[in-house]
Structure formats: structure tokens, C-alpha cells
Structure 1
Amino acid sequence: MVRRRELLLDAAIRVLGERGMRALTHRAVDAEAGVAIGSTTNYFPTREALFVAVVERVSVMERDHFDEVAVRVCPTTPAELGRALAGFVRDAVGAHRALTLARYAILVEAGHNIKIRSRLAETGSRVDAWCANWLRQIGSRDPDHAVHVLGNYLTGLILHQLAIPDPEFEPAGSITALLESLVRPGSRRPVAVDLPERTSTP
């Protein structure tokens, strides 16, 4: 039963990632999975139930993929971490392209669905913790700040490559440059404080 459920959800992820949110129907998933019509409905009676299950499956799969990287990586320099993250990015736009596209479709839906937003936040916090630890290892004095800068950059980098593919895409150099700027002494600017205008003494 578990295997059939995962089979259907993996098919649903392919439908969502390759054809978009509107294409995610029970019939489309049945066809993609190569099962009898009505099979998806037996597990997920409504479209909402199907979508919520897809969100959970995507979160688990992405966490597993990231954990595979995390257990192999112990960076001591920006270049080492840059190469590791570049591999993760290449997989995101290559071998795991449909999964990544599904995630972006889910992110759009999360904008007006608080339950989905909360689920994504849970997965994101786990990834942030790993990245903050790596940034600390390569010398960041403020890993909590740096992890958000890095995360936003990687999200945009992946999205751009998915939308406008570059056949010569190689992200290691730009990721490493960003990491170097984040760990460079004094790289984070102090918060500006508005002071009252000074007046001259009469």
C-alpha cells in the first residue's frame, strides 16, 4: 500500500513539475503512473488532499537529497563549500528538475495557503541549520544573516536556470564569490542610524 501511494505521489510530482498546477488532476496522475482510472482518487479523495500529500512528499524528497549532500560535506573554505553547493544546484536543475519545478509551483501556492507555508518552513529550517553550520565552518562571523543571503541567491540562481537554461551553466564560481564576500572581515555593513542634525554653537 505504501509503495502504491508513493508511486502515485511521484507521478503527481512529475505532472506538477512538467505541466504545472492546472494539470494536476486525478486522471492525469493515473495516466502518468500507468494505473487504472480512479486509483489516485482511492488514496486522495479530493484535489486538495492530493496536493497536500504532494507537498509532504516533495518536502521529504528534498530533505533526503539535501541530507545526502550534508553527510559528505565538511567544508573549511568558501571554495570547498562553493563546489558542494554547485553540485546541489546542478542536480536541482538537472536530475531533479521535475521535483524542483514542483517545489516552485508549491511556493506560489504557499503565498495564499498558510498550512503549506508552515510545512515548507519546517523543511527550510532544517536546510538553514545545515547551511549556517557550513558558513560557520568557513569563517562566517554572522552565519544566521549569511544563510538567508545564500539561500535567496541559490533560489534565484536555480529559478533562472530553469526558466532560461544556459547550456554552459556552471555555478561554482559565482557561488564561491558570494561565499567569499560573506566571510570577508567587515563584509556585513553596520545598521545605519539616523542622528539629529548637529547645530553650530553661536
Structure 2
Amino acid sequence: MASRRDDLLDAAIDLLGEQGVRALTHRAVDAAAGLSAGSTSNYFRTREALFDAIVERFAARERANWEELAAHLEPRTTTDLARALAVFARDSAGRDRALTLSRYAILVEASRRPELRAQLGATGARVNTWFVTWLRLVGSTDPDHHVHVVGNYLTGLVLHQLAIPDPDFDPTAHLDALLTSLVQTQRERESRDSGS
């Protein structure tokens, strides 16, 4: 059960995702949460404190989404992994749209406030660990390299869907083609290297 603090932060995340950093004020969060004026400032005295708490709450929610995916995912083929990542991409651009948009707003803010990078880096490191494991399971022999290729591609797919929504959005085939290409190209390179 979410606490009053978490309710405020979830409202702030939605506000940040839907209206951007400039809309993020204590009064706007109070209104978005449906609480009386001053509720947000009782928990977070400054805008910086509010933003730091938003990043912490955002990271926890995003980590929970990845943990939910990871709990049910043991891919054996590139197609298995592509299907799971496509579900994640659709959720990111659909039901979790505000959370995803807030991620981009937080990333932009982190370019101005380096202290936010540590929190984002910790969440990213955990996600990368899962990705590396999944890539290894589907046959990647260089998952530490491939994780960045796949992660950046997935981010681009989601960003494009957020900006230019396609009602039939299903990136499964594209993700499968990318994963297959990465795995096969690496195997071919290793085969050539071992034969020389």
C-alpha cells in the first residue's frame, strides 16, 4: 500500500511526464494528487528536495517494472527475448507512458545536475545485468557489448512511439532481426578468427 509520500511522488512523476520540468511546483503536485495546499511542501521543503525524491521514487518504480519482466523471462531464443522486450516497449509507450516520459525529463535534468546520475546509474546497472544474462541465454558471446546496442535501440523505439504514436506498434520483428544479427555476426567473426 502506497504511503501519502509515495502518492505525492507518483502524482509528481505523472506531472513531470505529462507537462515537463517547468510544471513541477509544490502547488501543482498538491493539485495533481488531490490534496490540500501545502501537502507537498510538508514532505519536501525545496524544489530540489522534491526532485531528488522524484528520482528515487522513479527509480524504484522503473526497477519494479523490470523485476516484473525479469521474474517471468528465461529466453532461449532471440525470438523469446524479442517478444518480451516488445511487451516492455509497448507498456513503456502505453500504460507506463508518464513514467517513461518522466525518465527523459530526469535524464535531461541529470545533464545539469550531476548528483542525479548516481541514482540513475544504479538502476541502469541492475537492468544491464539482466540484459547481459538474457543476451547470453540467446547465444550472444559478447553480451557486454550487445547490451548497449539493444538497449539504445529499444530506447529509440520507445521514444519514436511516444513522439509519433502508431496504433499498431509491435517492434517484435525488428527486435528479433537485431538480436539475430548481433548473435550471428559475432559467431561468424569468431569462426573466421579461429580458422585463421
- 2:142 touches 2:186 (CA, 8 Å); kept in 1? no
Q: Is the 8 A contact 1:92 1:100 kept in 2?
A: yes
What number of residue pairs does the alignment pair up?
A: 189
Which residue of 2 is the match for residue 33 of structure 1? 33
Counterpart residue number, 1:98 = 98
Aligned CA RMSD, in angstroms, stands at 1.4
TM-score by structure 2 length?
Answer: 0.93
Q: Which residue of 1 aligns with 2:76?
A: 76
Q: Please give the alpha-carbon distance, in whole angstroms, between the structure 2 residues aligned to 1:189 and 1:22.
A: 49
% identical equivalent positions: 59
Q: Deviations over 1:112-157 (max 9, x none)?
A: 2111111111100000000000000000010000001011111111
Task: Mark the runs of 5 or more structure 2 residues left unpaired by the alignment.
Answer: 191-196
* Superposition map of 1:61-140 within 5 A: 61-140=61-140
Q: Deviations over 1:5-46 (max 9, x none)?
A: 001000000100111110000000000001010000000000
**Following superposition, which runs of at least 4 residues in structure 1 exceed 6 angstroms of deviation?**
187-190
Deviations 1:31-82 (A, max 9, x none): 0001010000000000000000000100000000100000100001000000
Q: Which amino acid aligns with 1:65?
A: N
TM-score normalised by L of structure 1 = 0.90
Distance 1:33-1:183 versus aligned 2 partners, 3 A rule: same
Q: 2:16·2:102 contact (CA, 8 Å) conserved in 1? A: yes
Q: Please state how far the C-alpha of 1:185 moved relative to its aligned partner.
A: 4.2
Structure 1 residue 186: Cα displacement:
3.3
- Which of the pair has more CA radius of gyration? 1
Specify the code of the residue in structure 2 equivalent to 1:127.
V
Tell me the residue number matched to 1:145: 145
Which structure 1 segments of 5+ residues have no match? 191-202
Report the secondary structure of 1:168's partner residue: coil
State how far apart, in whole Å, the 1-side matches of 2:112 and 2:133 are.
31
